[in-house]
Structure 1
Amino acid sequence: MTVEVALRTVASFAECPTWDAAGGSLLWVDINRCEAHRFSPSDGRDTAVRFDQPVAAAKPRAGRPGELVLTLRDGVAVAGRDGEVRTLTDWSAEGVRGNDSGVDGLGRLWVGTIAGDTAPGWLGRVAGDGTTHRAVTGTRMSNGIAWSPDGRRMYFVDTLTRRVDVLDYDMASGEAAGRRPFVDLADADGVPDGLCTDTDGGVWVALFRGGAVRRYTPRGRLDREIRVPASLTTACGFGGADLTDLYVTTARREPDHAEPLAGSVFVVPGVAQGVAPAAFAG
């Protein structure tokens, strides 16, 4: 397995690599710089749109090329191609902070939040009209969200627990329940951050401060580890025309002279077949 630099950049905190099949491009965000990026592997072009608050995740919208659904610090919003931003839900008064998100096989958006000083975080489903259904409460630092190939399992990371958890998922209703540990990473170098899944049921998880991405079998057994030349490995996601390229985002310590590639986006070509990402249907 060869780790290549897909995009050499100096992102402060790159996160949430998501393949946009309609656009043939990779969406990623730089949280601290309030930017959503679109990277084209075919020509190496990377473009960014800046917003007025941190952007934790950007997902494509079904049937609306170029439009994005954004998980922001203060809520969820839709960004049109003309730059207009429309808020779907706002939790700024609650005191939590938006973080990672995922879209299930039927286009439902799931969002996790980071707890505030007095407000617990949560994991919930946000509809197109802003209605929010909270499935898990009491989280501290919500991160990776992904589904098994058959859609019957939902994987979720609350980073400070140092675990990847799994929930039973009903694709017909969009209900998640029965949260339980899937993999315990208490003894790992680094803590679990973003994750994705492959068509064999494998779960790939980025280890923040560990400089690695690990793959676990559907039974939770470690069977592969990919070292990344940047210790702040934040998230991973499959992309490319056949979804066999694993993209990995990283963050950068400021100032950071020891890791010249920190903050770049990496790719591991042909490593596995990823589960096809869905676009937000709201």
Structure 2
Amino acid sequence: MGTGTGVKTALHASAELGEGPTWDPAAGRLIWVDILGARVHTFDPATGNRTLMTTEQHVGAAKPRAGGGLVVNLRDGVGLYDADGRFSWLYRDPSPGRRGNDAAVAADGALWAGTMCYDETPGGGTLVRLAPDGTAATVLDDVTVSNGTGWSPDGQRMYYIDTPTRRIDIFDVREGGAVAGRRPLATVEEGAGCPDGLTVDADGCVWVALWDGGAVRRYTPEGALDRVVPLPVRRPTACAFGGPGLRDLYITTARVGLDAPPAAAGSLLVLPDAGHGLPQPPFAG
């Protein structure tokens, strides 16, 4: 098991709850959000250019769309921004005290969008699969904090995190994209932080950000811990590969709830040449 070094600050920021890094290959940029700041950020590592867009509601995730623009997981449902910035709702399901959280796009272009209660009521969240036309199917209806979602390189496995369980779970992917056979891949031990966002690399390994653990871990497809990347922050939230060849691991971070956050808290971090990521498909709607 190796110990990672060489983490750098890719972009200085002061996000309250940075989340959901996603590489947009068409634009050559990283997309990420500040959930509680209701902001969608983009960052081009080649030029240093960045943009900032404010949403009308707290935004749990933002992903590129195949035709341009973004799909966003908001407080009251999932919305669409077109390439000109015009907004429309794709799916509305408001529930008092609940908001959108992490989301991911499957190979078929469907969005898997999670929710959670602001007060983290046990079982108060959901995981919903949204087809490109907005048709919704509830996959899980008893989630507490719906977080990392990703797929194996062959598409036969889906990985998923409900943070308070402390587990990274596996589902088998069935025909049509449905999932079944939930079981644990690995469990994060007490005192090491809680699993938050994840990404899967080209070797099928699962990288997991540890909230309150100050690290990112990589687990093999068999569930063995084989790499730990220590970070200069206590609350990393999610990670994704980006940049040329998808070699660099970008990590979002948070400062919310910290009395004396370190300087890097809320910034976007990067571990150069960390491995080899998988291309992430855009939302097909």
Tell me the TM-score range normalised by the shorter chain. over 0.9
1:6-41 superposed Cα distances (whole Å, 9 cap, x missing partner): 101111111000000000000000111101111110
Q: Does structure 1 residue 29 correspond to structure 2 residue 18?
A: no
AA matched with 1:78: L
1:122-201 aligned within 5 A: 122-170=126-174, 172-201=175-204
- 2:98 maps to 96
Give, in angstroms, the shift of residue 128 of structure 1: 2.5
Gaps of at least 5 residues in structure 1 are none
**Which consecutive residues of structure 2, in runs of 5 or more, have no partner in the other structure?**
none
Mapped to 1, the partners of 2:12 and 2:254 lie a distance apart of: 12
Q: Aligned-pair distance for 1:4? A: 1.0
Tell me which moved more, 91-100 or 149-158: 91-100
Q: Is the 8 A contact 1:16 1:28 kept in 2?
A: yes
- In the alignment, the residues of structure 2 paired with residue 81 and residue 34 of structure 1 have an alpha-carbon distance, to the nearest angstrom, of 19
- Residue-pair matches, total: 279
Counterpart mapping for 1:23-102 below 5 A? 23-62=27-66, 64-65=67-68, 67-93=69-95, 96-102=98-104
TM-score normalised by length of structure 2: 0.93
Deviations 1:134-191 (A, max 9, x none): 1222111100000000010000000011111110013x40111111111111324210
Query: Following the alignment from structure 1 to structure 2, what is the Cα–Cα distance between the partners of residues 271 and 149?
Result: 17
Give 1:118 shift. 9.1
The 1:139/1:80 distance shift into structure 2, 3 A limit, reads same
**How far apart, in 1, do the equivalents of 2:41 and 2:148 lie?**
19
Aligned CA distance change for structure 1 residues 96 and 119 (closer, same or farther; 3 Å)? farther
Equivalence for 2:22 = 18
For 1:120, the equivalent position in structure 2 comes to 124
Note the aligned Cα RMSD (angstroms): 1.7
Once the two structures are overlaid, the 10-residue window that deviates more, 161-170 or 247-256, is: 247-256
Q: What does residue 231 of structure 2 align with?
A: 228
What SS does structure 1 have at the residue aligned with 2:280? coil
- Aligned 8 A contact 2:214 2:231 in 1: yes
TM-score by length of 1: 0.94
Could you tell me how far 1:93 is from its partner in structure 2? 3.8
Deviation at 1:130, TM superposition (A): 2.1
Aligned partner of 1:206 in structure 2 is 209
Task: Report the 3-state secondary structure (helix = DSSP H, G, I; strand = E; otherwise coil) of the residue aligned with 1:52.
Answer: coil
Identity level (%): 47
Q: Distance in 1 between matches of 2:261 and 2:139?
A: 41
Greater shift in the superposed pair: 257-266 or 14-23: 257-266
Do the aligned residues in 2 keep the contact of 1:95 with 1:119 (CA within 8 Å)? no
Distance 1:36 1:89 in 2: 19
